[in-house]
Amino acid sequence: MHPAPSVIVFTTLSGLGFGLLFWLGLGLPAVSGWVAFVFFAIGFGLAIGGLLASTFHLGHPERAIKAFSQWRSSWLSREGVAAVAALLVMGAYAALLIFFDIKVTLLGWIGAVLSLVTVYATSMIYAQLSTIPRWKTPLTPALLLAIALAGGALLAGQITYAQILLPIAGVLQVLWWVRGDGALLQSGTNMASATGLGDIGTVRAFEPPHTGTNYLLRELVYQVGRKHALKLRAMALMLGYILPVLLILIPFAHALAAVAVICHLAGIAASRWLFFAEAEHVVGLYYGKR
């Protein structure tokens, strides 16, 4: 699929933001006053900034409010409802903690759970799609949740948890790539099933369906070179997981922690680009794409 910058920014920043809010909801780190204000400002900034970025991929951003009305059947709508609920609860928790030095533990825990629910709902927008076999796997929500928890722990300064969660997220990332490379073939979908002509006989492309481009080709059919993809995978793995772990193994320093967060963010952005660029939508088979 076309790796639109808006959805890459959305999935990268919102996951990290809600991951940080999860740890803050648990009271980690134990902060108050202006220090708490800074942590919550970063968490809310990343979460809200990511959500706003996603609206730029809508055909009519001014109608984004309508996305909340289909929560019974749409994971996109559920994501929006969960995000608003998480932000409202965490906003109340943060206000009490920052301005009144009152820590309502139950409120924080509810906000933490809602933050994870938001990330899970985001992941299910993609994991539910049978038309993209690479995405349709329980590994998709597992990966996005692991990245959010690991990135949030790193940003919250929870080094012990980050040292555990980053390798777990890295392993899930590799498993997701390995499984995804053969997902389209294993799904059994081919040109015959894509065109609906399989009952007639062997199906092959005689000529392109049309000579010009269209919406489907622009948005759903994107091809990335294998060598280019492997280089980006190595970059994503090194920056997103390996280098941050190595940096936080060094005796703690704020400068190194900041570098670890920046590396992680860059690596996850690269993996998100691949998440979309390598997603083979079955509609591509109709156009003779492999």
Q: 177 vs 217, which has greater pLDDT?
A: 177
Check residue 58 and give its pLDDT: 66
CA–CA dist 240, 246 (Å, integer): 11
| Residues above pLDDT 70, as percent of the chain | 92
Q: 31 vs 56, which has greater pLDDT?
A: 31
Averaged pLDDT score across all residues of the chain: 90
Confidence of residue 19 (pLDDT cuts 50, 70, 90): very high
What is the domain count for the chain?
1
pLDDT in tens, 242-276: 999 999 999 878 899 999 999 999 999 999 999 99
Confidence of residue 213 (pLDDT cuts 50, 70, 90): confident
Helix 105-127 to helix 139-155 angle, to the nearest 10 degrees?
Answer: 140
Cβ-Cβ contacts under 8 Å for 65 (sequence gap 6 or more):
none
What's the pTM? 0.92
Check residue 257 and give its pLDDT: 92
Q: Are 24 and 156 in contact (CB under 8 A)?
A: yes
Q: Are 160 and 29 in contact (CB under 8 A)?
A: no
Structural domain boundaries enclosing 277: 5-286
CA–CA dist 82, 65 (Å, integer): 14
Least confident of 30-39, 173-182, 280-289: 280-289
Check residue 237 and give its pLDDT: 98
Check residue 72 and give its pLDDT: 87
Q: 262 vs 53, which has greater pLDDT?
A: 262
Phi, psi (rounded to 5 degrees) for 248? -80, -10
pLDDT in tens, 58-107: 666 666 677 778 888 899 999 999 999 999 999 999 999 999 999 999 99
CB count within 10 Å of CB 93 equals 26
Of the candidates 237, 226, 15, 290, which has an alpha carbon nearest to the alpha carbon of residue 126? 15
Check residue 290 and give its pLDDT: 59
User: Looking at residues 20-42, what average pLDDT do you find?
Assistant: 96
Check residue 43 and give its pLDDT: 98
Q: 136 vs 189, which has greater pLDDT?
A: 136
User: Looking at residues 25-33, what average pLDDT do you find?
Assistant: 95
Q: 188 vs 158, which has greater pLDDT?
A: 158
CATH code for the domain in which residue 104 is found: 1.20.1630.10
User: Looking at residues 234-238, what average pLDDT do you find?
Assistant: 98
Q: Is the pLDDT of residue 2 over 90?
A: no
